[in-house]
A and B are shown apart, each in its own frame.
Chain A
Amino acid sequence: MDPSISPETQATPPFFKNVEFDGILSCVHCGLCLDVCPTYRELGLEQDSPRGRLYIMRGLWQNELELNQDAIDPLNRCLDCRACETACPSNVKYGELLEKTRGIIQENLPQSFKEKLLREVFLKRVLISKNTLQLVSVLMNVYMTLKIPKLITSTFLSKILPKNIVNGQSMLPRFSGSSIKKKYAEKGNLLPTHGREKKFRVSFFTGCIMDVSESATHEASLKLLRAAGCEVAIPQEQSCCGALHVHSGDRQTARTLAKKNLAAFGIDQWDAIITNAAGCGAQLKEYHPLFSDQDSDAKNEWHAFEEKVIDILEFLSAVPDFPQELPWKNGEEVVLYDAPCHLKHAQGVDKNPQKLLNLLPGVRLVPLTESDWCCGSAGIYNLIQADLSNAVLQRKLDSVEQTLTRHPGAKTIVTGNPGCLFQIRAGIQSRNIPLRVIHPVEYMAERLLEH
């Protein structure tokens, strides 16, 4: 035995107090996660691989590494795409461990001005207030109608403004200027089924940004759910899911949001709580680690809530005779599919959405050659780690072009997560690739005939 091995008995440092972290021990350092990690592929550094990051977290936990910039840089460079969890044979809960560590970092290390600004203004003010969100949406709607983003990206302004701001212009969502939640509140809040007898009673999660932008996605979701025999409620007191907060380490705000959503939705009155944003869905299904200090009754309540949450594609794929019983357009079309990381890797939902889309008459779904790789969006990662995010995006665009060469007739890419939509759309524009990027439900709704 090598005498230099110190048995792992060092005291846990104080900032890990009350943090359940034993899950780190299930990493056996086998390395099977390395080659699926987007940042490892770009950087080729052990500390920027999932195994390396887990080893750093373990080093912090065992008091062998100091909590300093060198240690947290690789952790901050993680996209949290969780492809490593799909690859991991030991079921290491990488995302949970990383998010807990980011919580510790945020509470114990000073943040840069940019991070602070983003957190205080964007995460703590804008996302969680529906009035502010709506106001932002109206302003952004005007901003985009005036074609300011184009002015910034295509004139001398692109040379003098900071790179992040210029890049950000092409990633803006399509703001609608109004809130879907509010719109349906005025219509009585509970939407009846359409053309079919009632089979399910579901409630619908509208999200923060998505509530005031990309309204086509929500409208399409409601149309499909109602056509599938669902009575749909839109609880008015629901709020942002908190994913962006958890990813950036702000667990306190996330806890508040989780409680708010639990109260707004409740558990018993719904067959399902439907989301159409993979990132939100993943977060709604993972509230319990935020409350690891709670007693088992409270934990059971979180688990009961989490079990009700389901992605709309997964839900529709399980509705009997949907889509066979409904009238669809039947023109032949090849549609390209991109699997959002938080659908495939975080929620483990992959085959059923693809099966569902393939069931539509005339539709042939073709996954991108690197469908299950991250696009680099990762919440607000593309704003904070712009260069690395862009490198990851370029790989995705290569994969789009490669797939398009094999299937030149394709006109549409579908991907079921807002962040990915904005990111891939921006990339497609930058390379002038003749494709549109939309949410799968929007594509489905387009093909659904009046009935």
Chain B
Amino acid sequence: MAFDPKIKNDLIKILDEDRVKDDRVTLYTYRSDALILHPTMPMGVVFPENREELVAIVKLLHANQITFLPRGAGTGLSGGAIPKEGSVIIEMFRFRQIYDIDFANRSITVGPGVVNIKITEHVKENGYCFVPDPSSQKACTVGGNVAENSGGPHTLKYGVTVNHILGIEVVLPDGEVVELGGKQWGAPGPDLLGLFVGSEGTFGIVTKITCRLTPLPEKVITLLGIFPSVRDACSAVSNTIREGIIPAAMELIDNVVIQAVEKTIAPGFPLDAEAVLVVELEDMKDGIEEEASRVQAILNENNATEVRRAKNEEERALIWKARKEAFGALGTISPSYYVQDGVIPRSALPDVLGQISDIAQKYNLTIANVFHAGDGNLHPLILYNSKIPEEIEKADKAGIEILDICVSLGGSLSGEHGIGLEKQELMGTLYSSEDLSNMEWVRSFFNPQNLLNPGKIFPTPGKCAETKMGPQIVQSKSGVVA
């Protein structure tokens, strides 16, 4: 695949030769994001530097009815940046400006290509942070966070990306530029900004983002509970929340993952523990110690063999490094993995983990678990060898079965990674055809010709019951399932 020569010429007129690419090596390296199961070559890749160039490209592609999609750092796990139909990829790397830091309005305005962690690095000295902290935050872009409505460990207390975005500037698929939201509080009428965040790059291309800044907590305490079984660790989670305590984060890491991170990051987790639970408390100085003792007691009541407390920032950072880089660390024990992102009601955690282990046995695969236990957002990692075709197939099937369980318990297909092209065919298990057609109707308001990032989120026509418009209220995908 490559550009039609005339289109390529027109693109070069807007950008220049260096920033319009369709050689095989470019297409090959852009055929996949962090979901490596479904590589597809794009028609070409373009590299605009500013909004004017982007608008000109979008208008050109729109006029020629060519499909396209934006791409940030390509760290997404649901294939949101994979050009499913051989679309043109618009690389957003060059939108890295930091426009405005406004402490009075507690906001920062940035380009979508800015890397997530850079925001906090910019404002930390002034006592602020940007809360959403996906595990890929050292590499993923804020534009990607907006597209996927990303979460992270600390969403348990503070909410997901949508709760931390004040306003955006967007280029719609026909090239029109609109602004949604802004620094001010409150906007009458429907919450279009809320609708946009999490639309997985199917509504428009974000060119500017105003993010909410949050004061850093006065004090942080990080506890590490060590458990003889995953079930006990899960019960400790439900019991903590039941007591009315909301930690900033509750993260569960099982034995398979412990083995892997000890090989690379070596945080000192006991190799014989079946699970460790990271509990982070963030609060004012007064009262946090009592809260910590209470949590410690709950962990002990739920059979923790040991509860450690990070003594300093260095120890805390090491625990979080192990948690955040756990996916990658699995590379030391398995050549490939397939990560799921299902959500379940918190109370169902102990049973579901047992069922996942049954599925692993049924398919003779190893499934590792490292996840946001506090909000019931699972991340089972199905390990497989991509050199063995049957294993790819088994991994895919096991993934579907896990999600079926999540949905049957009243949970959801995705907590933070998005549906993308990975789980689109399963949307019918969660939503009725009316729900889906309503959602498609909303999308068509922004993206009527489906030129922008086609083939994502919704089931492929024909694979699901026919969709039609209807008045039903659509259940929100964003937000934490409690």
Contact = CB atoms under 8 A, between A and B. Distances in A.
Interface of A: 1-2, 4-5, 7-9, 25-36, 44-47, 51-52, 55-56, 59, 64-66, 70-71, 74, 87-92
B328 A30 contact: yes
Contacts of A25: 335-336, 386
Contact of A35 (B139, B325, B396): B139
A5 B330 contact: no
A7 B74 CA distance: 22
B272 to A, nearest CB: 23
Contact of B330 (A35, A59, A64, A90): A90
Given A5-B392, A59-B28, A89-B328, A31 B34 contact: yes
B188 to A, nearest CB: 39
Contacts of A51: 74
A36 B118 CA distance: 12
B25 interface: yes
Interface in B260-288: 263-265
Interface stretch (B36-44, B53-61, B295-303, B435-443): B36-44
A31 B74 contact: yes
B36 A29 contact: yes
B332 A70 contact: no
Given A28-B336, A31-B73, A55-B28, 17 more contacts: A26-B332, A26-B335, A28-B34, A28-B327, A31-B34, A32-B138, A35-B138, A45-B91, A46-B91, A56-B28, A64-B28, A88-B328, A89-B326, A89-B328, A90-B331, A90-B332, A91-B331
Interface in B400-428: 421
Contacts of B202: none
B26 interface: yes
B75 interface: yes
Contacts, number: 128
Sort A-B residue pairs by CB-CB distance and give the 7 closest, nearest first: A90-B331, A89-B328, A89-B325, A44-B93, A7-B389, A25-B335, A31-B75
6 contacts: A1-B393, A1-B396, A26-B331, A30-B139, A44-B91, A44-B94
A56 B25 contact: yes
B47 A44 contact: yes
A70 to B, nearest CB: 4
Nearest to A62: B387
Contacts of A7: 386-389, 392
Contacts of B40: 2, 4
A98 to B, nearest CB: 15
Given A7-B392, A9-B389, A47-B25, A35 B115 contact: yes
B29 A89 contact: no
A153 to B, nearest CB: 30
Contacts of A29: 32-34, 36
Contacts of B332: 26, 90-91
B329 interface: yes
B24 interface: yes
Nearest to A49: B29
Contacts of B140: 31
A285 B29 CA distance: 32
A56 B138 CA distance: 23
A225 B154 CA distance: 50
B30 interface: yes
B130 interface: no
B386 A89 contact: no
B25 to A, nearest CB: 4
Interface string B294-333: 0000000000000000000000000000000111111110
Interface of B: 23-26, 28-30, 32-34, 36-40, 47, 73-75, 91, 93-94, 115, 136, 138-140, 263-265, 325-332, 335-337, 386-389, 392-393, 396, 421
B81 to A, nearest CB: 10
A7 to B, nearest CB: 4
B139 to A, nearest CB: 5
A46 B330 contact: no
A97 to B, nearest CB: 13
Given A7-B392, A8-B387, A90-B264, A30 B24 contact: no
Contacts of A36: 138
Contact of B25 (A5, A9, A74): A74
Most buried by B among A5, A9, A28, A64: A28
A92 to B, nearest CB: 7
Contacts of B93: 44
A28 B337 contact: yes
A30 B29 contact: no
Contact of B331 (A59, A66, A89): A89
Contacts of A46: 26, 29-30, 74, 91
Contacts of B33: 29, 31
B136 A90 contact: no
B121 to A, nearest CB: 11
Contact of A91 (B136, B264, B326, B337): B264
A84 to B, nearest CB: 11
A89 B336 CA distance: 14
Nearest to A36: B138
A65 B28 contact: yes
Nearest to A91: B264
Contacts of B38: 2, 4-5
Contacts of B386: 7-8, 25
Nearest to B82: A2
Given A47-B25, A89-B327, A9 B136 contact: no
Given A26-B335, A90-B328, A70 B136 contact: no
Contacts of B37: 1-2, 5
Given A30-B34, A91-B263, A5 B331 contact: no
B111 to A, nearest CB: 12
Contacts of B75: 30-32, 34
Contacts of B335: 25-26
Nearest to B25: A70
B37 to A, nearest CB: 7
A1 B392 contact: yes
Most buried by A among B23, B25, B139, B263: B25
B91 A52 contact: no
B374 to A, nearest CB: 23
A36 B465 CA distance: 46
A35 B328 contact: no
B73 A34 contact: yes
